[in-house]
Chain A
């Protein structure tokens, strides 16, 4: 018997509501003190195509998914056997082969599935009459003739049946369901509970659930944890940071964040604008930033491809923002709209023409996302430039338990601001305001406020329309301290140096623990190097191998621009053996590391099938690296 350690999966056609039952299940586990890591895979489609939701439950912290499923619930035949029977090029082979030894398959007895010829006599099969169960529940409330209208309740049947197998109290799930249907809709909740109970009873009556080896037991005094989705954390970080203004154009998988914020408009005074395209989104956000509000946007690769001119615009005009969350998905072009990939690192680092400063950061989990999105607004205003926070589909969509959501660096910093008409930049900064004779426009003894004053540290206190005496011009042309166009040699150089010099300031100011992280023993036999969302999977895989006595370290690169080259190089040079892990084709962080540190990582574990690494894949890949002495560069293309 295995207690409090299992993976449960529900699969069915898109639109069948698998999200609802998976999330109810996850929540009931989280509330009972169990740790949850849940992820969904779905097609870019509204109705009909195969989707599945996987919920991993454990007593220990889990940060990734497993290959094998212990309880598989199939709402349709395709979930078990794939789509090879009706597609010329099958997209998947179903999940039956992923069921662990001794695991169970709960399936709808109406789908015409016969376990006899599957070759899986090592697992349990539980045929449950889904529609009949729903009908029975409806009969109890006098609606027996309306069963077809309630087909979506199959999810609830699945849930009730699953709980019976793992001996989990139905009460915990009922509470979650009832909590979701309040007021007028409480009848819906009641009916769902009724369906779940009938399914639970059906399994208990017809099968020997005691023989099923995977069991879940609630904790007695459960620790109250948060169970959150990534995009929710991003959105809440924006609220916490005081973001006034968010623009967006609908795009998977970034839209959810903006819609979440849209719902908060009235309560939190955040203005959310749905734009006509991403060019409009970024430019509105830049306009709003110049007007003095904390402004933000969110998009994915195809939208970012349209936004890039706005990044250069914000940077050369020293706009205090926006903060842009870039949810990567499979590229290139439209690519894999609903699947994961870390394919936009190099693009985010070099998004537009010319040399200009901007910040790119890549948090590896939800807690880091919360901190980095919060900090991004401070950085944008202090250094007057756009900030890109790199996320991806995986981080956006995972549904996982978090112990605490706290900010280590929680101060709001709005940077240096022009404070009034008597004020001069000379006094405020205590140094030379303007280089003498910058193309004839600069006067050494200027005493009025200059928006783009050539200060020693390159930061010119900012103003905004509406402030008396703070008037300025801003232009996307090269400009002088007034903000007027110049093509003068000296001024051009001075302005380039002023803007680019901000990167050094930033590199010094951002706390090291927000720049990179090292996990594991100092004397690791293998140092894994990665960035972004594989972090959790890497840590889980390292934990598994540590139990087998292997010493693996993990260098996580987080701040991508300005890049902490010196520190990272020191870690790389000290490592006994290096191995790069990325979810893209070319190993983009590898390119960055080679450019920034001169270190070339020969051993690379790459994946670009649009699905995140599983714990098992990385355990196998790391073991492989540890066991082989490769003379040649090795690229392990997982799957």
Chain B
């Protein structure tokens, strides 16, 4: 067997040649860059990456990335990605979508995907508005807030995605900021490397419809000391990684700490809130179907099954 020199992919190898129609200054550009940087850092073969997205501005992300891309249905990205991942475990699966997509119409799938702990990374573009339909309140906008695109104040409260992910069972839970793509890339690298379901909730600016949570707001431009409204957990002695997954007390403590941090409103913590190594859905499936431990489902020959014994048993 001849061994060829390993290919080294760079960020440009993940850039698709397609006109981008996001608004000027959209936070999505930062997320796109962050994803491409992470893929390059991990040196993943574009032919072995499958990106799944929901519907909305964020749903267009896979079109701008050179990899297999599936722009699916509103709210259903996780089931589609789950089917994809189960069919071919040799492919790296990334799912992405907006906060309305993931925490509103897709909330049921968000929760149930956490229960499975399948190995994928879910990137949520959290910008508090439905952008593509012109700025209605999304599920993360707090009660009483009103963006310039809304006729009235929000009369529903926002959900807490981090706390929801903790309760649902995600085993890697992090938050990043869209306009810090390098930091986001670092988080994404860890999320993709993590074995299990990873949520990366990305605070994203919508310059067109969200005049509350702007770049300037996150930077604290209005504050007297001009101090950022974000801070990095790891810079403040926080460590959300469970050292002993067999230690239920440690798991509960770390989960509680993650939830407590997730309610901090100003400044907002970014970084890894919680991480634990637990058996994945794939591990469980491989127990049931030993052949899957050898090769992905798509490569298993299912076309020479002998069903005669099943029929014979019916005599």
Contacts and interface: CB of A to CB of B under 8 A. Distances in A.
Nearest to A285: B83
Nearest to A470: B47
B86 interface: yes
Contacts of B66: 471
A244 B87 contact: yes
Q: Which range holds the interface residue count of chain B?
A: 35 or more
A212 interface: no
Interface in B53-84: 55, 60, 62-63, 66-73, 76, 79-84
Contacts of A484: 18, 63
B79 A287 contact: yes
Given A239-B307, A291-B50, A485 B315 contact: no
A169 B109 CA distance: 56
Which of B46, B50, B87, B315 has the most A CB atoms < 10 Å from its CB? B87
A20 interface: no
A292 B315 contact: no
B256 interface: no
Interface in A1-40: 30-31
A234 interface: no
Nearest to B17: A482
A310 B88 CA distance: 20
Contacts of B49: 465
Contacts of A242: 302-303, 305
A292 B290 CA distance: 20
Given A284-B83, A293-B87, A310 B297 contact: no
B83 A283 contact: yes
Contact of B79 (A243, A284, A466): A284
B292 interface: yes
A467 B71 contact: no
B311 A236 contact: yes
Nearest to A226: B314
Interface string A477-489: 1000001110000
Contact of A471 (B68, B81, B298): B68
A202 interface: no
Interface stretch (A269-277, A498-506, A615-623): A269-277
A474 B70 contact: yes
Given A283-B83, A292-B87, A473-B62, A412 B72 contact: no
B289 interface: yes
A432 interface: no
Nearest to B298: A292
Contact of B288 (A224, A245, A265, A287): A265
B52 interface: yes
Given A240-B307, A242-B302, A475 B71 contact: yes
B5 interface: no
A283 B79 contact: yes
B84 A485 contact: no
A466 B71 contact: no
Given A269-B300, A291-B298, A412-B303, A310 B73 contact: yes
A461 to B, nearest CB: 16
B302 A287 contact: no
Contacts of A251: none
B167 interface: no
Interface in B231-281: none
Which of B80, B289, B310, B311 has the most A CB atoms < 10 Å from its CB? B80
B300 A476 contact: no
B302 A294 contact: yes
A471 B72 CA distance: 16
A285 B81 CA distance: 10
B112 A266 contact: no
B267 to A, nearest CB: 35
Given A228-B314, A288-B83, A244 B47 contact: no
Given A268-B305, A279-B79, A464 B88 contact: yes
A290 interface: yes
Nearest to A277: B108
Interface string B195-206: 000000000000
B285 interface: yes
Contact of B292 (A271, A466, A470): A271
A459 to B, nearest CB: 20
A286 B315 CA distance: 36
Contacts of B69: 472-474, 483
Given A288-B84, A310-B73, A268 B285 contact: no
Contacts of A281: 79
B80 A287 contact: yes
Nearest to B287: A266
B91 interface: yes
Nearest to A309: B73
Contact of A287 (B87, B310, B311): B87
Interface string B103-120: 000001101100000000
A295 B36 CA distance: 31
A469 interface: yes
A195 to B, nearest CB: 25
A245 B84 contact: no
A225 B312 CA distance: 9
Contact of B311 (A265, A405, A483): A405
Contacts of B84: 287-288, 290-291, 465
A227 interface: yes
B71 A224 contact: no
B46 to A, nearest CB: 7
Contacts of A472: 68-69
Contacts of B289: 265-266, 269-271
B302 A280 contact: no
A468 interface: yes
Nearest to A179: B313
Given A236-B307, A283-B72, A244 B48 contact: no
A405 B307 CA distance: 11
A338 interface: no
Contacts of B303: 242, 412
A308 B69 CA distance: 22
A243 B301 CA distance: 10
A270 B285 CA distance: 11
Contacts of A265: 288-289
B90 interface: yes
Interface string A226-259: 1110001000100110111101000000000000
B291 interface: yes
A277 B75 CA distance: 13
Interface in A305-363: 309-310, 313, 317
Contact of A280 (B67, B112, B291, B315): B112
Given A466-B47, A473-B62, A273 B86 contact: yes
A464 B298 contact: yes
Contact of B302 (A266, A270, A290): A270
Contacts of A287: 52, 70, 72, 79-84, 87
A315 to B, nearest CB: 12
A466 B88 contact: yes
B86 A476 contact: no
A412 B303 CA distance: 8
Contacts of A309: 73, 76
A31 B314 CA distance: 10
A268 B302 contact: yes
B86 A288 contact: yes
Which of B46, B79, B90 has the most A CB atoms < 10 Å from its CB? B79
Given A269-B291, A283-B73, 8 more contacts: A232-B310, A244-B87, A270-B302, A271-B292, A291-B83, A313-B73, A466-B90, A473-B69
30 contacts: A226-B314, A236-B307, A239-B310, A240-B305, A244-B297, A271-B292, A276-B108, A279-B76, A280-B79, A280-B82, A286-B80, A287-B79, A287-B84, A288-B86, A288-B297, A290-B70, A291-B83, A291-B298, A293-B297, A293-B298, A464-B68, A465-B50, A465-B91, A466-B47, A471-B67, A473-B69, A473-B70, A475-B71, A476-B72, A485-B63
A-B pairs with lowest CB-CB distance, top 6: A287-B83, A284-B83, A291-B87, A283-B79, A287-B80, A475-B71
